[in-house]
């Protein structure tokens, strides 16, 4: 597929003010879409993610027999295949989406037939050995291309396993659970660092019984899923760009409504509060066990302090690290990030690309195999930014640009649409110039 490269000029801002309601969470939309397509009956979702990644999940599941209707207002209706997919006569295109490829592989490994999964250039470089290992231990046959996509699955009946994930990954956990859901016996996934638990909550919402302990999740298969109606909470990883933008301007005030506040996703709020921003959470509610609330943020008059992000926190904040690193030069004491080696195998090598783009803006930064040191108290200037086809890099540097001197040109700005097509318009709405 040929994508047209777009450039976006970002001018400095004086302040960030306003109130926004963000599109549905990408992680939750993937799971609701995939499970609904596999369940029995018709599910209805409002505020479904508008990102291209979740569209990839829906398109793949449609090719496998689900019926999907999308509406202009971001609502979606999904009629599922009641546990039996129809193998497609063409490769399933996961686009840029690691979540689609890894989670769907688990679902399909237990289904009779041959399935081929492909992705774009970025996804075709990302590690897939991590799903082949547990699925093969369950008896599935997965053929990779030098450890990557394209991948072929010869699906069929599997055996239950007890699996400890070597890297913290919610996608791998979900992959194994979706295979286990369809497999006789108890399948357990153990993780040393607890990753986002949307799959566990979503499986329960669709009627499955899931057992959890502090470090493990188990499913006894086979179990059938039943359709649900749900409103998808706003995406906190998309909110991260606005929260960080607001944190940069003394006098800022931003309100984000109906935002997902799942504790396995909300560590960013503690980190920004630790940097000195004032954060209030109002109207907390639970929807299908997902917490949703209103977040108010305002920045400290004296500017942001400093912080270190290491260990389990680095894993929990993995998607928010690019934007935290991008605003780090504007803090007083800088930000130190370690134990984040996974950043190198995301949609791009995010450690290298963050360092490169910070330097382009005149910042000093030290790059490590598993992180970055970004000193504080720096002044940045506008520069051409290479988004590297990575949505989170494009958006992170649009935020850094708000406090830079002069204009910043985001090259490859279209990649924001992978998770957040509305990003640049909403940024214009809240950035006072
Ligand atoms: C996701 C899990 C994370 C995250 C990705 C979405 C998910 O990846 O980086 O953006 O929805 O499960 P890993 O599972 O590879 O850590």
pLDDT < 50 regions, the chain = 1
- Whether residue 42 sits in one domain with residue 120: yes
Among 51, 101, 217, 318, which is best to mutate for testing ligand 1, by the most ligand atoms less than 8 A from CB?
A: 318
Separation of alpha carbons 214 and 366, rounded Å = 36
Predicted local distance difference test score (pLDDT) of residue 22 = 98
Whole-number Å distance, alpha carbon 14 to ligand 1 midpoint, is: 34
Question: Do 284 and 339 reside in the same domain of the chain?
Answer: yes
Ligand 1 binding pocket mutation candidate from 26, 27, 134 (most atoms within 8 A of CB): 27
CB 426 within 8 A of CB 255: no
The ligand 1 atom nearest the CA atom of 172: 14
Are residue 135 and residue 196 in the same domain, yes or no?
yes
Question: Which residues are the active-site residues?
Answer: 319
Residues having CB closer than 6 A to ligand 1 are 27, 30, 99, 169-171, 196, 318-319
Q: How far is CA 217 from CA 29, 211, 295, 431, in A?
A: 21, 6, 30, 43
Q: Is residue 162 part of a domain?
A: yes
> From ligand 1's centre to the CA of 63, what distance in Å?
24
Of 197, 230, 263, the residue that ends a domain is 230
CA of residue 172 to ligand 1 center, whole Å: 9
- Distance in Å, CA 433 to ligand 1 centroid: 35
Residue 126 CB contacts under 8 Å (≥ 6 apart), including other chains: 98, 119, 148, 149, 345, 346
Overall number of domains in the chain: 2
Q: Are residues 244 and 277 in the same domain?
A: yes
In a domain, 2, yes or no: no
Is 269 within the bounds of a domain? yes
Q: What is the CA radius of gyration of the chain?
A: 21
Same domain (yes/no): 151, 64: yes
Residue 5: per-residue pLDDT: 86
Residue 219 shares a structural domain with residue 117: yes
Q: What element of type H or E holds 8? A: strand 7-10
Note whether 169 and 195 are within 8 A (CB): yes
Nearest CA, atom 11, ligand 1: 27
Four-residue CA torsion sign, 48, 50, 52, 58? positive
What is the model's pLDDT at position 3?
A: 61
pLDDT in tens, 166-224: 999 999 999 999 999 999 999 999 999 999 999 999 999 999 999 999 999 999 999 99
d(CA 255, CA 294): 7
d(CA 72, CA 138) in angstroms, rounded, equals 41
Cα-Cα-Cα-Cα dihedral of 201, 205, 206, 211, to 10°? 50
Q: Coil, helix or strand for 231?
A: strand
Residue 366 and residue 219 share a domain: no
Pair 223, 238 in one domain: no
Residue nearest atom 16 in ligand 1 by C-alpha distance? 169
**Is 278 in the same domain as 407?**
yes
| CATH code, domain with 223 | 3.65.10.10
Where in the sequence is the domain holding 174, given as residue range(s)?
26-230
Residue with CA nearest ligand 1 atom 4: 319
Of 171, 232, 322, the one to substitute when testing ligand 1's pocket (max ligand atoms within 8 A of C-beta) is: 171
The pLDDT, as a whole number, for residue 2 is 53
Say how many C-beta atoms besides its own lie within 10 A of residue 223's C-beta: 17
Asked if the structure places residue 16 within a domain, the reply is: yes
Q: What spacing in Å lies between the alpha carbon of 196 and ligand 1's midpoint?
A: 8
- The verdict on residue 341 lying in a domain is yes
> Where a domain ends, among 182, 201, 230?
230
Do residues 261 and 175 both lie within one domain?
no
Which ligand 1 atom is the nearest neighbour of the CA of 103?
A: 12
Does residue 1 belong to any structural domain of this protein?
Answer: no
Q: What is the pLDDT of residue 284?
A: 98
Distance of CA 48 to the CA centre of its chain: 14
| Residue 4, pLDDT score | 74
Domain stops at, among 168, 200, 230: 230
- Of ligand 1's atoms, which has the minimum distance to the CA of residue 173? 14
Position in ligand 1 atom list of the atom nearest CA 346: 9
Q: Report how far ligand 1's centroid is from the alpha carbon of 147 (Å).
A: 18
Same domain membership, residue 254 and residue 166: no
End-to-end CA distance of the chain: 37
Does residue 119 belong to any structural domain of this protein? yes
103 within some domain: yes
Query: Is residue 201 domain-shared with residue 253, that is, in the same domain?
Result: no
């Amino acid at each position: 597929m040929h994508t047209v490269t777009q450039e976006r000029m970002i001018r400095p801002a004086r302040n960030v003010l306003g109130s926004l309601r963000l599109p549905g969470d990408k992680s939750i939309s993937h799971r609701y879409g995939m499970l609904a397509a596999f369940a029995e009956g018709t599910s209805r979702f409002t505020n479904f993610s508008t990102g291209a990644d979740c569209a990839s999940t829906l398109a793949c599941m449609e090719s496998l027999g689900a019926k999907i209707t999308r509406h202009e207002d971001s609502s979606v209706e999904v009629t599922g295949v009641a546990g039996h997919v129809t193998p497609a006569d063409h490769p399933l295109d996961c686009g840029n989406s690691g979540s689609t490829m890894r989670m769907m592989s688990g679902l399909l490994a237990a289904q009779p037939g041959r399935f081929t999964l492909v992705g774009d250039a970025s996804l075709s470089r990302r590690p897939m050995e991590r799903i082949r290992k547990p699925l093969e231990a369950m008896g599935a046959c997965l053929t990779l291309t030098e450890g990557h996509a394209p991948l072929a699955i010869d699906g069929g009946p599997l055996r239950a396993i007890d699996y400890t994930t070597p890297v913290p990954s919610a996608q791998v956990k979900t992959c194994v659970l979706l295979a286990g859901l369809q497999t006789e016996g108890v399948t357990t996934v153990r993780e040393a660092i607890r990753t986002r638990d949307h799959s566990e909550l979503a499986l329960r919402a669709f009627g499955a019984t899931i057992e959890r302990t502090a470090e493990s999740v188990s499913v006894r298969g086979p179990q059938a899923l039943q359709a649900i109606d749900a409103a998808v909470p706003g995406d906190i990883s998309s909110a991260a760009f606005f929260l960080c933008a607001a944190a940069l301007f003394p006098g800022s005030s931003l309100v984000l409504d109906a935002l997902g506040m799942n504790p396995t996703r909300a560590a960013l709020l503690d980190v920004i509060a630790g940097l000195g921003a004032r954060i209030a959470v109002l109207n907390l509610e639970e929807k299908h066990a997902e917490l949703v609330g209103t977040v108010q943020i305002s920045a400290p008059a004296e500017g942001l302090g400093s912080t270190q992000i290491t260990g389990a926190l680095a894993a929990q904040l993995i998607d928010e690290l690019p934007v935290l690193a991008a605003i780090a030069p504007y803090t007083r004491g800088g930000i130190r990030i370690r134990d984040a080696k996974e950043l190198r195998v995301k949609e791009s090598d995010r450690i290298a690309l963050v360092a490169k783009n910070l330097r382009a803006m005149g910042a000093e930064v030290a790059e490590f195999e598993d992180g970055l040191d970004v000193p504080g108290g720096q002044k940045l200037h506008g520069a051409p930014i290479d988004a590297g086809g990575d949505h989170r890099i494009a958006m992170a540097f649009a935020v850094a640009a708000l406090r830079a001197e002069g204009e910043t040109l985001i090259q490859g700005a279209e990649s924001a649409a992978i998770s957040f097509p509305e990003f640049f318009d909403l940024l214009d709405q809240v950035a006072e110039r």
